[in-house]
Chains A and B, each alone.
Chain A
Amino acid sequence: MFRDYGPKEVKFFFIYKSLAHPELAGNYVQPFTLPERLDHARQAERQLGASIPWIVDAMDNRLKHALGDRPNSEFVINPEGIIIRKRAWSDPTQVRKDLEELVGPVNRITREEDVQLKLELPPKATAAERVMPRLNRPKMQPIMMEPQIEQEGPPFFAKLRAEADASLLRDGNGQLYLGFHLDPFHNAHWNNLTESLSFRIDTVEGVTIDKWEGVAQKVSAVSDADPREFMLNVAAWPVDKPLRLTVSYFACVGEESCYAVKQEYVLHRERDIDGGGARGEGAGYWESEEFAQRMLASDKDKDGKLAKTEATGIILPQFDKLDRNKDGFLDLDELKVFSDWLNYHHTPGTPSSEPDSDP
């Protein structure tokens, strides 16, 4: 479409926003600084194609907030800067129809196979993975936290992912997940020949936590890249009393450069609407039957399959590719393939370029 309508003076942009599903793909984690988010956007150019330019939202997510906070929404604006189309999920077929109506049809429609995209894979892990058992934490929500960034300090090689269960968010009593995930953009791995990562939370009067401090389990591998995770039981945590956490760890970049790092965070008992829903090992992959059934929720005529007019959300843009038997409908099995593809494609280190792995 970019090829067809670019010459007709239509501009296209992708807007790079906070991660929708941290921990998928290359074990990506939410960036803490603008330079880190710019790194993400440049990786997106390499990984997802660079013909359409990306613009990058600011770290306060101002554009995402100003436009309704959806992960894959789409807007068409006219030459006067007025919004003339908006949809909650991107739908290339519909955009093409919009543009045919607004600026006229093109003589020859560029098809996907005509475009020779050279797409890169996510970066490979820096060291062994899956040496540390992961904590299961389905259905937890990210909470607001402020990394205490020092201008002269080392980068946050490991980044905290803090999540709360529903009852902790609601009334201050429940489970708090702390996961220290290595940021693949800093290319670091844990040095297991030294002390394991440890954390400490400053005590707050009235608040009860079963582990105010913790040390990660020892790993026999010399180095690895698995997250260091802790599940805490918290009671009587008031909304107006943030927790201050200090983490200490040794991170190495390559064979030579190792850093002893001490970093701080302030945690708030408040859901982070920009934190995204973590997916992957621990947080949970998409379960294919459940995913397919959920997609079938929009089966209005109850014939057990989705017609294109019934499809919504993430399915719609992929409809034709998913309809493998080309009968014009997506049945349960075809929908299951999609969730398998999402999981497969997003499994860290798994090649994504095999022809039949494309949804």
Chain B
Amino acid sequence: MRFVAPFLMLALAFIAVPIEVQAQKMQEREEDFLRSRPLIGDIFPDVTVYSPDGTPFKTGDLRGHYTVLTFGCLT
């Protein structure tokens, strides 16, 4: 058992380093997103998009209500 423990610790150390790095990266990605434009307090970008039937739709018209917008796709 006393031979196993150092190997186990070594193995854990190898696992622990990338996890630390990954955690930091994930955190940084979240923070990057919050720091990137548009910021909270900016006007929502006004671009032309479409309804599923193809009717053009200006995102600048999304006014007059609280609106929740979420990106998604089929996969």
Interface residues of A (CB under 8 A from B): 9-26, 28, 34-35, 38, 40-45, 47-48, 53-58, 62-64, 66-68, 70-88, 90, 95, 99, 102-103, 122, 276, 279, 293-294, 296-300, 312-313, 346
Contacts and interface: CB of A to CB of B under 8 A. Distances in A.
Contacts of B44: 75, 77, 81-83
A81 B63 contact: yes
B26 A298 contact: yes
Q: A26, A44, A82, A84 — which one has the most chain B CB atoms within 10 A of its CB?
A: A82
B51 to A, nearest CB: 6
Contacts of B51: 53-56
Nearest to B38: A83
23 contacts: A11-B62, A13-B68, A15-B71, A20-B75, A22-B75, A55-B50, A58-B48, A63-B59, A66-B38, A68-B36, A73-B70, A74-B70, A76-B66, A76-B69, A77-B62, A79-B65, A80-B63, A81-B44, A82-B41, A82-B44, A83-B43, A99-B68, A297-B23
Interface residues of B, number: 47
A66 B45 contact: yes
Contacts of B29: 88
Given A63-B47, A68-B33, A312 B26 contact: yes
A85 B52 contact: no
Given A82-B42, A88-B29, A15 B23 contact: no
